[in-house]
Amino acid sequence: MLEKSEALITYINFLQQVKQVHASDEFMKLSPIEERLLNLLATTWVADQKITVLRAIQIDTEVSQSTAHRLIKGLRMKKYVSLVMDENDNRIKYVEPTEKANAYLKALGTCLDQARERKAA
């Protein structure tokens, strides 16, 4: 049997909140690997850094570059990311979050806040 701790209860509450976000009509279903890539990209964006497509396909060392490129294409089709040309060099494209990605990541952050509040209640 699992030892019930505050941390475990908070984590379970978080998972329940995330499940609701995943089930909402607002966000198109992401595969687990797409979500992991989006999370990895978010760590760069939150640091106010630009990430090129070349760097983005190398960010997840557990998938091949061709798979990562396909995942980025899928995230574009689902409108979570966009590609923006470099101002000085048209050969360079940056992967940037869309409003949908911002809303999705914010919703997940809210899940964490709500999970912490439920524990305290």
Q: What is the pLDDT along the chain (121 residues), one digit of tens a residue?
A: 778 888 898 899 999 999 999 998 888 789 999 999 999 999 999 999 999 999 999 999 999 999 999 999 999 999 999 999 999 999 999 999 999 999 999 999 999 999 988 765 5
| List of residues 6+ apart from 100 with CB closer than 8 A | 27, 78, 79, 80
Q: Say which residue the tokens 């990209």 belong to.
A: 41
| Domain-located, residue 31 | yes
Q: What angle do CA 16, 21, 22 make, to 5 degrees?
A: 95
CATH number at 61 reads 1.10.10.10
Task: Give the count of domains, the chain.
Answer: 1
Domain hosting residue 80, numbered range: 6-120
How much of the chain is helix, strand and coil, in % rounded to 5?
60, 10, 30
Q: Which two tokens stand for residue 15?
A: 């998972």
| Domain-located, residue 66 | yes
| Domain-located, residue 1 | no
SS (H, E, C) 68-98: HHHHHHHHHHCCCEEEEECCCCCCCEEEEEC
Supply the pTM of this predicted model: 0.87
What is the pLDDT, as a whole number, of residue 119?
A: 60
CB atoms within 10 A of CB 117: 11
Rounded Cα gap, residues 8 and 118, in angstroms: 12
